[in-house]
Structure 1
Amino acid sequence: MKDNLAAGITHTHTFRVPLEKTVPRLYPESALFREMPEVFATGYLVGFIEWACMEALQPFLDEGERSVGTMINVSHSAATPPGMEVTAQVRLVEVNGKRTLWEVEVHDEKDLISKGSHERFTINLEQFKERLKKKEQG
């Protein structure tokens, strides 16, 4: 990571929720999911929060580095129908070596829908792939 990464950086990321990101499509193999209302799924909300933090961190990563999510602690307090826009506002609150901690807040066009924190670790992509390959091989 670059030396100028410091607490206080912010980033805003916006996304229009498509039908494909609703609860029934999260696990279509499950009748329990298929029977749920078509609203922005919590699983996709988590991915959206990760996306916003990844974008915020990207300019500070060195060649071959990526970041992986290691902890998520967020609410999902309001339903968002497909077609509505969601906006994540993320703020870096702590840098500790390769670990970053983010404060996150997500709004749709009407409500605050999520608030909490997200932790990420910076990795060397090739080393990570090697460890994963060894794990797959037993």
Structure 2
Amino acid sequence: MEITEKVKTGLKKEISGSVTEKNTAIAMKSGTLPVYATPAMMALMEQAAAELVQEYLPEGWTSVGIAMSVAHTSASPVGMKVRAEAKITAVDGRKISYEVTAFDQSGEIGRGTHERFAVNEEKFMKKTNSKK
């Protein structure tokens, strides 16, 4: 499958959410303060990237995350709205590279890179389930 026909550099997707008690560092066991957890921010970034590429993949295909490098640079309190943006920066065969950025209502809170790999769902799950 040649994904470069539809998946192009420069494509962007933004999604939003909010800081709740469920995604604080305390709740996610990644810290002791009631602030937006780094794993929650990274998940929002990854969700934006996954949803972006899914729009362009053929039926029966999806993408899986293979790498993420992110700095969480500013804390966000409970109740604040947050959003993440994913932008495709490179396509190398079935590997898609992204710039990911997260914001709260006061500005940027995190930035980094993410990589995903396009896979045939059936083949991927067959290989994965063979580990049992």
Give the SS at the match of 2:5. Answer: coil
Q: What's the CA shift for 1:127?
A: 1.2
Partner AA of 1:59 in structure 2: E
The corresponding residue for 2:22 is 20
User: Contact conserved, 1:90 with 1:103, CA < 8 A, in 2?
Assistant: yes
Partner AA of 1:101 in structure 2: S
Number of matched residues?
A: 130
TM-score normalised to structure 2 length: 0.91
1:29-76 deviations in whole A, cap 9, x for unaligned? xxxx5x701111111111111101011112111111111111111100
Q: What's the CA shift for 1:2?
A: 6.5
Q: What's the CA shift for 1:135?
A: 1.0
Q: Using the alignment, how far apart are the partners of 1:12 and 1:46 within structure 2? A: 14
Q: Using the alignment, how far apart are the partners of 2:61 and 2:4 within structure 1? A: 11
Q: Using the alignment, how far apart are the partners of 1:126 and 1:2 within structure 2? A: 21
TM-score normalised to structure 1 length: 0.88
The corresponding residue for 2:62 is 66
Q: What's the CA shift for 1:111?
A: 2.9
Q: Using the alignment, how far apart are the partners of 2:79 and 2:57 within structure 1? A: 33
Q: Using the alignment, how far apart are the partners of 2:89 and 2:37 within structure 1? A: 26
Q: Using the alignment, how far apart are the partners of 2:111 and 2:97 within structure 1? A: 14
Q: What's the CA shift for 1:20?
A: 0.4
The corresponding residue for 1:91 is 87
The corresponding residue for 2:96 is 100
User: Contact conserved, 2:4 with 2:91, CA < 8 A, in 1?
Assistant: no
**RMSD between aligned alpha carbons?**
1.4
Q: Using the alignment, how far apart are the partners of 2:14 and 2:128 within structure 1? A: 32
Partner AA of 1:79 in structure 2: A
Partner AA of 2:24 in structure 1: T
Partner AA of 1:52 in structure 2: A
Give the SS at the match of 1:23. Answer: coil
Residue 43 (1) aligns with residue 39 (2): yes
1:108-135 deviations in whole A, cap 9, x for unaligned? 0113110111000011111111111111
Greater fraction of residues in strand? 2
